[in-house]
């Protein structure tokens, strides 16, 4: 029996999206910014509803294609909040630089639906459809600044490379289906644990799925689109690319690797480790030479993807007898989710600061930050804090989450890659400090104070609070994350998949 009430959060968010599009018809151009608040209110309502009614539900729909559990709930709540913040950080930007506010907010809400589905998907094709819904929303949004050639270029690059990666992903899915006869995560796990040897065809299929997902999170060597898309997209959408779409892809990956592919961990672990090591190295090293802030943050976020991929690679270990060892998996998945949240909050603050500090679109040079601390002390401070947080310095979120994630991966016995990651954090500090230096030690070229819209100010303050609170008092967040990890590791599922080949 399908209980459609389980899909209510997604349905309600979609309703909010259509609501925004409809109200758009009846609002005069000068009042379009009200749509943003309408969308945020709607999302807030859905969030409250979701937390109240879905708490503790564990069930699945459509014969296991969609799963509703603590893990999905955690990410759904996270994505709804994220969507709200993305909309709030767009208000001022959209008013200044973009037209067609209604569709803009509407599409953001639809991408939230897609992200929520990705966290719930327990089957490859459902996951694929959700991923495409997200990608299509983003293709449009990246090119939304349509009189800006850079935005158009970014959109074209993103859609062409995105379509290609989707093709690769689909091909991988078909390969897995052809060889195992199923696309459901649980059944894949059962089929894999009964295999004696893993056939090359299956490995090719899995490698292609990994490649497709690696494109979505911009892992090296599938990262080429990211800097251009980040630079050209409207800044709030850059934040969406850096935070929302990545978090959703990791939500999917985490479930895929822990629920479906766990039995053959020895086959994919080294693949992901190499991918992670390359990603963090290339991302951080290339960031050193960037002169455009958005490109710089694009490479820095590639670096962060490296850390997260390292976490995914460390999801399970292999013990002396060659069996799958899941004794620290829980810790690792906690670490990944923790870092995702911390990284998300921090990057939202960073991009919102950028879109406030630069008045002209398309010329976000590092030198343009000169003297920002004198022109707008508060925003400069928040930007500096988010940079310190990205670099992993206390008392901010980035330090605590990085420490936790790195500790988890080290506990899995992968100290060498953790060493590399820690060293890359040092490298990253250099380019973050370059930005801080511009803001605090250079004299401004014009002394005019920067005007900050009230809604931006409030959003920034909330994000600053988030960075500090997660940094010094992470226990409540960690409890929610534990709950989510329990859903994918704490049940009988682990025992079943842990048998191993």
Partner 1 sequence: MANFDTWVLFLLIVLPLAGAVVLMAVPGHRKEEIRWTAAVIAAVTMALSFYVFAAYDHGAGGFQFERTWGWLSIPGPWALGDRGIELSLGIDGISAPMIMLTGIVMFTGVLISRSISDRPKEFFVLYFMLLSGVFGVFSSLDLFFLFFFYELSVLPMYLLVGVWGSSSDFKTFIRTKDYAAMKLMLYLVAGSVLIWIALLAIFTEAGLGTFNIPALADAELSRNFQLIFFPFLMVGFGILAGLWPFHTWSPDGHVAAPTAVSMVHAGVLMKLGAYGIIRVGLFLLPEGAEEWMPVLLGLGTVNVLYGAISAMGQRDLKYVIGYSSVSHMGFVLMGIATLNPLGMSGAVLQMFSHGVMTALFFAVVGIIYDRTHTRDIGVLRGLAKHMGWTASLFVIAGLASLGMPGMSGFVAELLVFMGLFQTYPILGALGVIGAAITAVYMLRLLSTVFFGESDDEHWAKLLDRRFEKAPDGWRIERASSLVLVGFILLVGLFPFPFIRVIDSGVTDILAAMARSL
Footprint on this chain of partner 1 (rule: CB under 8 A)? 327-328, 330-331, 334, 377, 384, 388, 393-395, 399-400, 403-404, 406-407, 410-411, 413, 415, 418-419, 422-423, 425-426, 429-430, 433, 436-437, 440-441, 474-475, 478, 482, 485
Tokens of 429: 């500090």
Kindly tell me which of 265 and 328 has the beta carbon lying closer to partner 1. 328
Kindly tell me which of 355 and 428 has the beta carbon lying closer to partner 1. 428
Q: Which of 118, 139, 9 is nearest to 71 (CA)?
A: 118
The distance of closest approach from Cβ of residue 3 to partner 1 in the complex, given in angstroms and rounded to an integer, is 31
Tokens of 184: 């459901």
Kindly tell me which of 107 and 373 has the beta carbon lying closer to partner 1. 373
Half-sphere CA count of 142, side-chain side, radius 13 A: 29
The distance of closest approach from Cβ of residue 433 to partner 1 in the complex, given in angstroms and rounded to an integer, is 6
Q: Distance between CA 141 and CA 239 in Å, rounded?
A: 12
Kindly tell me which of 252 and 372 has the beta carbon lying closer to partner 1. 372
Q: Distance between CA 367 and CA 340 in Å, rounded?
A: 30
- Cβ-in-10-Å burial (0-12, 13-18, 19+) of 198 comes to middle
Helix/strand/coil (H/E/C) assignment for every residue in 425-477: HHHHHHHHHHHHHHHHHCCCCCCCCCCCCHHHHHHHHHHHHHHHHHHHCCHHH
The distance of closest approach from Cβ of residue 434 to partner 1 in the complex, given in angstroms and rounded to an integer, is 9
Q: Distance between CA 175 and CA 210 in Å, rounded?
A: 13
The distance of closest approach from Cβ of residue 285 to partner 1 in the complex, given in angstroms and rounded to an integer, is 15
Kindly tell me which of 235 and 329 has the beta carbon lying closer to partner 1. 329
Kindly tell me which of 3 and 327 has the beta carbon lying closer to partner 1. 327
Kindly tell me which of 178 and 394 has the beta carbon lying closer to partner 1. 394
The distance of closest approach from Cβ of residue 280 to partner 1 in the complex, given in angstroms and rounded to an integer, is 14
Residues in the chain: 501
The distance of closest approach from Cβ of residue 334 to partner 1 in the complex, given in angstroms and rounded to an integer, is 7
Q: Distance between CA 21 and CA 106 in Å, rounded?
A: 6
The distance of closest approach from Cβ of residue 12 to partner 1 in the complex, given in angstroms and rounded to an integer, is 33
Instruction: Give one DSSP letter per residue of 349-401, joined into a string.
Output: HHHHHHHHH--STT--BGGGGTTHHHH-HHHHHHHHHHHHHHHT-TTSHHHHH
Kindly tell me which of 128 and 406 has the beta carbon lying closer to partner 1. 406
The distance of closest approach from Cβ of residue 343 to partner 1 in the complex, given in angstroms and rounded to an integer, is 17
Which residues, at least 6 apart from 37, have a Cβ–Cβ distance to it below 8 Å?
none
Helix (H, G, I), strand (E, B) or coil at 123: strand
The distance of closest approach from Cβ of residue 449 to partner 1 in the complex, given in angstroms and rounded to an integer, is 13
The distance of closest approach from Cβ of residue 293 to partner 1 in the complex, given in angstroms and rounded to an integer, is 19
Plot region of 100 (φ>0 → left; ψ -120 to 50 → alpha; else → beta): left
Kindly tell me which of 105 and 399 has the beta carbon lying closer to partner 1. 399
Kindly tell me which of 162 and 500 has the beta carbon lying closer to partner 1. 500
Kindly tell me which of 230 and 404 has the beta carbon lying closer to partner 1. 404
The distance of closest approach from Cβ of residue 429 to partner 1 in the complex, given in angstroms and rounded to an integer, is 5
Kindly tell me which of 105 and 406 has the beta carbon lying closer to partner 1. 406
CA triplet 371, 373, 378: central angle to 5 degrees? 155
Q: Distance between CA 73 and CA 154 in Å, rounded?
A: 33
Helix axes 149-180, 200-216, angle to 10 degrees: 160
Helix H segments across 288-328? 293-313
Report DSSP state, residue 121: B
Instruction: Give one DSSP letter per residue of 220-280, joined into a string.
Output: TTS-THHHHHHHHS-HHHHHIIIIIIHHHHHHHHHHIIIIISGGGHHHHHHHHHHHHHHHH
The distance of closest approach from Cβ of residue 420 to partner 1 in the complex, given in angstroms and rounded to an integer, is 10
Phi, psi dihedrals of residue 222, rounded to the nearest 5°: -105, 30
């Amino acid at each position: 029996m399908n209980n459609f009430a389980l899909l209510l959060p997604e349905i309600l968010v979609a309703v909010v999206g259509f609501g925004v599009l409809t109200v758009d018809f009846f609002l005069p151009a000068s009042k379009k910014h009200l749509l943003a608040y309408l969308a945020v209110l709607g999302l807030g309502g859905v969030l409250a509803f979701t937390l109240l009614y879905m708490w503790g539900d564990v069930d699945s729909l459509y014969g296991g294609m969609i799963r509703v559990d603590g893990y999905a709930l955690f990410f759904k709540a996270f994505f709804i909040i994220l969507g709200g913040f993305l909309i709030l950080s767009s208000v001022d930007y959209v008013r200044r630089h973009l037209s067609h506010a209604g569709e803009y907010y509407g599409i953001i809400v639809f991408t939230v639906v897609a992200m929520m589905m990705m966290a719930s998907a327990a089957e490859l094709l459902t996951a694929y459809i959700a991923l495409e819904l997200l990608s299509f929303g983003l293709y449009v949004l990246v090119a939304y600044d349509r009189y800006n050639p850079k935005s158009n270029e970014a959109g074209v690059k993103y859609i062409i490379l995105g379509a290609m990666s989707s093709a690769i992903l689909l091909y991988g899915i078909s390969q897995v289906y052809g060889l195992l006869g199923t696309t459901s995560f649980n059944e894949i796990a059962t089929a894999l644990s009964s295999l004696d040897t893993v056939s090359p065809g299956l490995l090719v299929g899995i490698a292609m799925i990994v490649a497709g997902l690696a494109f979505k999170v911009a892992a090296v060597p599938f990262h080429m689109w990211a800097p251009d898309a980040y630079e050209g997209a409207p800044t709030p959408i850059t934040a969406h690319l850096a935070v929302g779409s990545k978090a959703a892809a990791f939500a999917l990956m985490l479930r895929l690797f822990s629920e479906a592919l766990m039995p053959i961990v020895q086959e994919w672990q080294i693949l992901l480790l190499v991918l992670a090591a390359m990603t963090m190295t290339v991302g951080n090293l290339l960031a050193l030479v960037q002169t455009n802030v958005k490109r710089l943050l694009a490479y820095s976020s590639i670096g962060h993807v490296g850390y997260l991929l390292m976490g995914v690679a460390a999801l399970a270990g292999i013990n002396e007898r060659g069996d799958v060892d899941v004794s620290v998996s829980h810790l690792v998945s906690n670490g990944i989710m923790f870092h995702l949240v911390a990284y998300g909050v921090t990057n939202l603050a960073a991009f919102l600061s950028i879109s406030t500090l630069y008045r002209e679109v398309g010329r976000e040079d590092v030198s343009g930050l000169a003297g920002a601390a004198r022109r707008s002390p508060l925003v400069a401070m928040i930007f500096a804090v988010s940079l310190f947080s990205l670099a992993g310095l206390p008392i901010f979120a980035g330090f605590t989450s990085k420490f936790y994630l790195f500790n988890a991966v080290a506990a899995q016995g992968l100290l060498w890659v953790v060493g590399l990651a820690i060293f890359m954090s040092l490298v990253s500090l250099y380019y973050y400090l370059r930005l801080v230096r511009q803001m605090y030690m250079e004299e401004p070229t014009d002394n005019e104070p920067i005007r900050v819209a009230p809604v931006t100010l409030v959003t920034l303050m909330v994000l600053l609070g988030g960075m500090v609170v997660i940094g010094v008092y992470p226990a409540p967040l960690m409890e929610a994350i534990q709950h989510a990890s329990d859903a994918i590791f704490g049940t009988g599922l682990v025992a079943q998949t842990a048998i191993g080949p």
